[in-house]
């Protein structure tokens, strides 16, 4: 009876069988099997890698593939003569959502980018995403720091403009998580500017800085030329650093840059971490709110600016921006570098803001008035908007009373009158 070995390695017919070769055959058998298995595993790995690169992804972010590219291209499609193709970062955020819708409605192509982080309850971001998807706006899910994703995006779409609104926001959270500010507001900004620099043609770059850059500046109202070298929070410092970083990309690479200093933006679909939003939730729940007060019992005040006014300022900035001049990463001539305050020019104290909310909610707030902790806050903001008015035609039209009425109406319709529903 032929052994298994003989069956595995049948001798060549007519050849002499040598028993002394059996050991050698056995060894050869196991080596060959191992070799075949190794080959199989290598082939499997190669197949997986090539499938991943075909998808264009490979990172944990949800991007890549033919279907994904189709969605990006469709979303970027321009529907008006001379329209823009805009990449809106932070599109699932408060300002990003509103700006994206405004651009899409007038016929511009809009592609969103958002990492859906958990700084506040991402279900609000997912609902904003649904709102955008009803307008045929697609949001790419990924982080600003993903250079591969950005270069892929710029490879798929020739963006004419970038509206950069993604950031780690919030003044006081910087004490808890300082690194998140560096990650998004510094490293993420640089990764995005690199992608813009390398794009050919380079897009126009408009982005959100902050009123907080004025820091401890005491001259009011705040003008763009006032000093901004005394930030009061790490958040403010990263926004100020962002302005300087953006300037270098303008200077060296010819990117057209516009920085917008937003003043305490509020409104429907707003950010739950902001005072007007969290106060609304707590007032409705019958919980006490903490109202900060400055030194010598002076009330804090903010130049609260309604979202629709901010959106007009953003769109006007895109419309009036001159072109970038660089190509292949090299500057071909001077490109515009602009900075504007987008505020309301009428500061309101925090207790007055609470009073307006009480009237709209028809509920009296339980207030704990405490001295402002040294956590990065500034006592007062007030925008001089002359420059934005002259160069952008920016003219805010909504006062806090009217704007908060719209916010409260939205809040009640979104979270319901049953206050317990609001979980953020
Ligand atoms: O304009 C800006 O540059 C900034 O505006 C807001 O920052 P902030 O003005 O501090 O807005 P809120 O956090 O809503 O605070 C508004 C006012 O309420 C006060 N406040 C806040 C929270 C609180 O529990 N109690 C309280 O009295 C704050 O001290 C401040 O005076 C945004 O959160 C920042 O992301 C943005 O960059």
66 Cα to the center of ligand 1, angstroms: 43
Pocket test for ligand 1, best of 240, 270, 292, 370 (most atoms within 8 A of CB): 292
CB 302 near ligand 1, within 6 Å: yes
Pocket test for ligand 1, best of 90, 221, 280, 377 (most atoms within 8 A of CB): 377
Contact 302, 348 (CB under 8 A): yes
CB 262 near ligand 1, within 6 Å: yes
What's the pLDDT score for residue 53?
Answer: 43
The residue ranges of DSSP E strands in 294-397, in sequence order, are 301-302, 305-306, 337-342, 348-349, 366-371
What is the pTM assigned to this prediction? Answer: 0.87
Q: Which atom of ligand 1 is nearest to the CA of 213?
A: 3
Q: Write the residue with the smallest CA distance to atom 7 of ligand 1.
A: 264
**181, 214, 235, 266: which one is catalytic?**
235
Give the tokens for residue 244: 């300087």
CB 350 near ligand 1, within 6 Å: yes
DSSP H helical ranges for 11-65: 22-55
3-state secondary structure 222-280: ECCCCCCCCCCCHHHHHHHHHHHHHHHHHHHHCCCEEEEEECCEECCCCCCCCHHHHHH
What's the pLDDT score for residue 41?
Answer: 72
173 Cα to the center of ligand 1, angstroms: 11
Q: Which atom of ligand 1 is nearest to the CA of 239?
A: 37
Q: Which atom of ligand 1 is nearest to the CA of 274?
A: 14
83 Cα to the center of ligand 1, angstroms: 36
Contact 257, 325 (CB under 8 A): no
CB 264 near ligand 1, within 6 Å: yes
What's the pLDDT score for residue 279?
Answer: 98
- Any catalytic annotation for residue 214? no
- The 10 Å CB-count burial string (b at 16+, else e) for 3-31 is eeeeeebeeeeeeeeeeeeeeeeeeeeee
What's the pLDDT score for residue 375?
Answer: 87
What's the pLDDT score for residue 330?
Answer: 86
274 Cα to the center of ligand 1, angstroms: 6
What's the pLDDT score for residue 8?
Answer: 38
CA distance 118 to 162: 24
Interface confidence, given as ipTM, is 0.99
Residue segments in the chain with a per-residue pLDDT below the cut of 70: 1-32, 35, 38, 42-61, 417-424
What's the pLDDT score for residue 70?
Answer: 98
Contact 162, 195 (CB under 8 A): no
CB 153 near ligand 1, within 6 Å: no
**Edge to edge, what strands does the sheet with 337-342 contain?**
138-141, 109-114, 85-89, 161-164, 204-210, 257-262, 337-342
CB 165 near ligand 1, within 6 Å: no
CB 209 near ligand 1, within 6 Å: no
pLDDT (tens digit, 9 = 90+) per residue, 90-113? 999 999 999 999 999 999 999 999
What's the pLDDT score for residue 324?
Answer: 98
Q: Write the residue with the smallest CA distance to atom 34 of ligand 1.
A: 170
Give the tokens for residue 131: 């709102």
Cβ neighbours of residue 241 closer than 8 Å, sequence gap 6 or more: 185, 186
What's the pLDDT score for residue 37?
Answer: 75
- DSSP one-letter code for 146: -
């Amino acid at each position: 009876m032929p052994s298994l070995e003989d069956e595995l390695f049948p001798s060549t017919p007519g050849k002499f069988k040598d028993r002394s070769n059996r050991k050698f055959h056995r060894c050869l058998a196991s080596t060959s099997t191992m070799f075949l298995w190794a080959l199989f595993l290598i082939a499997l790995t190669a197949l997986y890698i090539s499938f991943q690169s075909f998808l264009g992804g490979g990172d944990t972010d949800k991007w890549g593939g033919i279907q994904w590219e189709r969605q990006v291209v469709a979303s970027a499609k321009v529907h008006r003569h001379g329209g823009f193709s805009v990449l809106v970062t932070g599109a699932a955020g408060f300002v990003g959502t509103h700006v994206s819708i405004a651009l899409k409605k007038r016929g511009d192509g809009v592609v969103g980018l958002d990492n859906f982080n958990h700084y506040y309850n991402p279900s609000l971001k997912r609902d904003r995403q649904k709102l955008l998807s009803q307008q045929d706006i697609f949001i790419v899910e990924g982080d600003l720091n993903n250079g591969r994703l950005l270069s892929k995006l710029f490879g798929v779409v020739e963006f004419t403009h970038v509206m950069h609104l993604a950031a780690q926001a919030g003044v006081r959270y910087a004490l808890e998580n300082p690194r998140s500010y560096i990650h998004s507001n510094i490293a993420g900004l640089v990764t995005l500017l690199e992608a813009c620099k390398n794009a050919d043609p380079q897009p126009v770059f408009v982005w959100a800085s902050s009123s907080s850059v004025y820091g401890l500046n005491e001259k009011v109202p705040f003008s763009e030329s006032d000093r901004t070298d005394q930030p009061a929070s790490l958040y403010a410092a990263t926004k100020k650093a962002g302005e300087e970083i953006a300037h270098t990309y303008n200077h060296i690479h010819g990117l057209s840059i516009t920085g917008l200093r937003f003043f305490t933006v509020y409104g429907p679909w707003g950010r739950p971490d902001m005072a007007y939003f969290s106060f609304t939730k707590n007032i409705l729940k019958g919980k006490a709110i903490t109202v900060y007060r400055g030194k010598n019992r002076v009330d804090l005040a903010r130049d609260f600016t309604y979202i629709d006014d901010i959106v007009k300022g953003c769109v006007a900035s895109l419309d009036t921006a001159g072109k970038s001049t660089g190509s292949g990463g090299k500057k071909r001539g001077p490109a515009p570098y602009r900075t504007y305050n987008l505020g309301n020019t009428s500061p309101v104290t925090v207790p007055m803001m609470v009073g307006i909310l009480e009237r709209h909610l028809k509920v009296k707030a339980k207030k704990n008035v405490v001295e402002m902790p040294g956590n990065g806050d500034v006592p007062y903001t007030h925008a001089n908007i002359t420059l934005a008015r002259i160069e952008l035609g920016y003219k805010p039209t909504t006062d806090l009373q009217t704007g908060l009425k719209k916010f409260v109406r939205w809040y009640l319709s979104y979270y319901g009158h049953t206050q317990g529903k609001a979980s953020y």
